[in-house]
Amino acid sequence: MPTDRQDAGSTATAKRIADRIEGTGVRIGVSESLTSGLLASFLGAAPSSSDWFLGGLTAYATSVKRSVLDVTAEAVVSPESAAQMADGTARLLGADLTLSITGSGGPEPQDGQEPGTVFFGVTAAGQQHPDVHERFFEGDPETVIHSTVAEALELISDRLDKLLAERGAR
Protein backbone atom coordinates (compact mmCIF):
# COMPACT_ATOMS: atom_id res chain seq x y z
CA MET A 1 0.00 0.00 0.00
CA PRO A 2 1.25 3.49 -0.72
CA THR A 3 1.90 5.60 2.29
CA ASP A 4 0.65 9.09 3.00
CA ARG A 5 4.34 9.98 3.14
CA GLN A 6 4.83 8.70 -0.42
CA ASP A 7 1.92 10.77 -1.73
CA ALA A 8 3.16 13.78 0.27
CA GLY A 9 6.52 13.35 -1.44
CA SER A 10 4.86 13.32 -4.85
CA THR A 11 2.86 16.42 -3.96
CA ALA A 12 6.07 18.17 -2.83
CA THR A 13 7.87 17.21 -6.06
CA ALA A 14 4.97 18.48 -8.18
CA LYS A 15 5.11 21.77 -6.25
CA ARG A 16 8.86 21.96 -6.84
CA ILE A 17 8.22 21.51 -10.58
CA ALA A 18 5.59 24.27 -10.46
CA ASP A 19 7.94 26.64 -8.64
CA ARG A 20 10.77 25.96 -11.10
CA ILE A 21 8.67 26.23 -14.26
CA GLU A 22 6.82 29.44 -13.33
CA GLY A 23 7.40 32.18 -15.86
CA THR A 24 9.57 30.07 -18.19
CA GLY A 25 6.95 29.36 -20.84
CA VAL A 26 7.77 25.64 -20.74
CA ARG A 27 4.76 23.38 -21.09
CA ILE A 28 4.54 19.77 -19.92
CA GLY A 29 2.45 16.87 -21.23
CA VAL A 30 2.28 13.24 -20.17
CA SER A 31 0.93 9.90 -21.32
CA GLU A 32 0.21 7.09 -18.93
CA SER A 33 -0.68 3.46 -19.14
CA LEU A 34 0.21 1.73 -15.88
CA THR A 35 -0.66 4.75 -13.71
CA SER A 36 -4.03 5.46 -15.37
CA GLY A 37 -3.89 9.24 -14.97
CA LEU A 38 -2.49 9.46 -11.44
CA LEU A 39 0.60 11.35 -12.63
CA ALA A 40 -1.61 13.90 -14.40
CA SER A 41 -3.63 14.40 -11.22
CA PHE A 42 -0.51 15.31 -9.22
CA LEU A 43 0.67 17.71 -11.93
CA GLY A 44 -2.79 19.22 -12.33
CA ALA A 45 -3.07 19.85 -8.59
CA ALA A 46 0.24 21.73 -8.47
CA PRO A 47 0.25 25.54 -8.15
CA SER A 48 -0.44 27.47 -11.38
CA SER A 49 -0.65 24.21 -13.35
CA SER A 50 -3.03 25.80 -15.84
CA ASP A 51 -0.07 27.94 -16.98
CA TRP A 52 2.26 25.04 -17.79
CA PHE A 53 0.50 21.64 -17.70
CA LEU A 54 -1.08 20.87 -21.06
CA GLY A 55 -2.62 17.60 -19.95
CA GLY A 56 -2.29 13.88 -19.87
CA LEU A 57 -3.37 11.05 -22.10
CA THR A 58 -4.40 7.81 -20.45
CA ALA A 59 -3.60 5.08 -22.95
CA TYR A 60 -4.32 1.99 -20.90
CA ALA A 61 -5.51 -0.28 -23.70
CA THR A 62 -3.04 -1.50 -26.30
CA SER A 63 -5.43 -0.36 -29.04
CA VAL A 64 -5.30 3.23 -27.71
CA LYS A 65 -1.51 3.19 -27.57
CA ARG A 66 -1.47 2.08 -31.18
CA SER A 67 -4.26 4.25 -32.65
CA VAL A 68 -3.73 7.47 -30.68
CA LEU A 69 -0.02 7.50 -29.83
CA ASP A 70 1.22 5.60 -32.91
CA VAL A 71 2.93 2.87 -30.89
CA THR A 72 4.21 0.19 -33.27
CA ALA A 73 6.40 -1.72 -30.81
CA GLU A 74 5.35 -5.35 -30.63
CA ALA A 75 5.42 -5.34 -26.82
CA VAL A 76 3.63 -2.38 -25.26
CA VAL A 77 5.55 -2.86 -22.01
CA SER A 78 8.97 -2.14 -23.49
CA PRO A 79 11.55 0.60 -23.92
CA GLU A 80 10.46 1.06 -27.55
CA SER A 81 6.85 1.57 -26.52
CA ALA A 82 7.82 4.15 -23.87
CA ALA A 83 9.81 6.11 -26.46
CA GLN A 84 7.01 5.94 -29.03
CA MET A 85 4.45 7.01 -26.42
CA ALA A 86 6.59 10.04 -25.52
CA ASP A 87 6.96 11.00 -29.18
CA GLY A 88 3.24 10.57 -29.82
CA THR A 89 2.34 12.66 -26.78
CA ALA A 90 4.74 15.45 -27.77
CA ARG A 91 3.22 15.47 -31.27
CA LEU A 92 -0.38 15.53 -30.05
CA LEU A 93 0.03 18.06 -27.23
CA GLY A 94 2.84 20.24 -28.56
CA ALA A 95 4.57 20.03 -25.19
CA ASP A 96 8.09 21.28 -24.54
CA LEU A 97 8.71 18.41 -22.12
CA THR A 98 6.94 15.07 -22.31
CA LEU A 99 7.02 11.97 -20.14
CA SER A 100 5.36 8.63 -20.84
CA ILE A 101 4.85 5.60 -18.61
CA THR A 102 4.28 1.97 -19.49
CA GLY A 103 4.84 -0.99 -17.24
CA SER A 104 3.71 -4.17 -15.59
CA GLY A 105 1.96 -3.51 -12.29
CA GLY A 106 1.07 -7.11 -11.61
CA PRO A 107 0.10 -9.34 -10.17
CA GLU A 108 0.96 -11.22 -13.40
CA PRO A 109 3.78 -10.46 -15.87
CA GLN A 110 2.91 -8.57 -19.04
CA ASP A 111 4.79 -8.77 -22.34
CA GLY A 112 7.40 -10.91 -20.61
CA GLN A 113 8.07 -8.20 -18.01
CA GLU A 114 7.87 -9.06 -14.33
CA PRO A 115 5.41 -7.10 -12.17
CA GLY A 116 7.08 -3.91 -11.01
CA THR A 117 8.99 -3.34 -14.27
CA VAL A 118 8.35 0.17 -15.57
CA PHE A 119 9.61 2.10 -18.59
CA PHE A 120 9.59 5.90 -18.80
CA GLY A 121 10.06 7.87 -22.01
CA VAL A 122 11.25 11.45 -21.54
CA THR A 123 11.72 13.97 -24.30
CA ALA A 124 12.07 17.70 -24.73
CA ALA A 125 11.46 19.95 -27.73
CA GLY A 126 14.22 19.56 -30.28
CA GLN A 127 15.44 16.24 -28.89
CA GLN A 128 15.99 13.58 -31.59
CA HIS A 129 15.02 10.54 -29.56
CA PRO A 130 13.42 10.21 -26.15
CA ASP A 131 15.51 9.05 -23.23
CA VAL A 132 14.17 5.80 -21.83
CA HIS A 133 14.56 4.84 -18.19
CA GLU A 134 13.82 1.40 -16.80
CA ARG A 135 12.97 0.95 -13.14
CA PHE A 136 11.79 -1.90 -10.95
CA PHE A 137 9.49 -1.33 -7.98
CA GLU A 138 8.67 -3.92 -5.33
CA GLY A 139 5.19 -4.36 -3.91
CA ASP A 140 1.58 -4.93 -4.78
CA PRO A 141 0.07 -3.22 -7.86
CA GLU A 142 -1.06 -0.15 -5.90
CA THR A 143 2.39 0.32 -4.39
CA VAL A 144 4.03 -0.07 -7.81
CA ILE A 145 1.72 2.59 -9.25
CA HIS A 146 2.46 5.13 -6.52
CA SER A 147 6.20 4.42 -6.68
CA THR A 148 6.02 4.89 -10.45
CA VAL A 149 4.35 8.29 -10.10
CA ALA A 150 6.95 9.42 -7.56
CA GLU A 151 9.75 8.42 -9.94
CA ALA A 152 8.01 10.04 -12.93
CA LEU A 153 7.80 13.35 -11.08
CA GLU A 154 11.52 13.15 -10.23
CA LEU A 155 12.34 12.43 -13.89
CA ILE A 156 10.24 15.41 -14.99
CA SER A 157 11.96 17.63 -12.42
CA ASP A 158 15.43 16.52 -13.55
CA ARG A 159 14.67 16.96 -17.26
CA LEU A 160 13.07 20.34 -16.58
CA ASP A 161 16.25 21.53 -14.88
CA LYS A 162 18.30 20.40 -17.90
CA LEU A 163 15.88 22.02 -20.36
CA LEU A 164 15.93 25.31 -18.50
CA ALA A 165 19.75 25.23 -18.31
CA GLU A 166 19.88 24.58 -22.09
CA ARG A 167 17.64 27.62 -22.61
CA GLY A 168 19.65 29.76 -20.23
CA ALA A 169 16.67 30.24 -17.92
CA ARG A 170 17.18 31.18 -14.30
Give the architecture-level CATH label for domain 4-166: Alpha-Beta Complex (3.90)
Q: Which of 4-8, 79-83, 120-124 has the lowest mean pLDDT?
A: 4-8
The per-residue pLDDT for range 135-164, each reduced to its tens digit, is 999 999 999 999 999 999 999 999 999 999
pLDDT of residue 3: 57
Predicted local distance difference test score (pLDDT) of residue 34: 97
The pTM for the full model equals: 0.95
Q: Residue 78's closest CA among 109, 38, 41, 55?
A: 109
Q: Three-state SS for 19? A: helix
How is the chain split into domains, by residue range? 4-166
Amino acid letter, 114? E
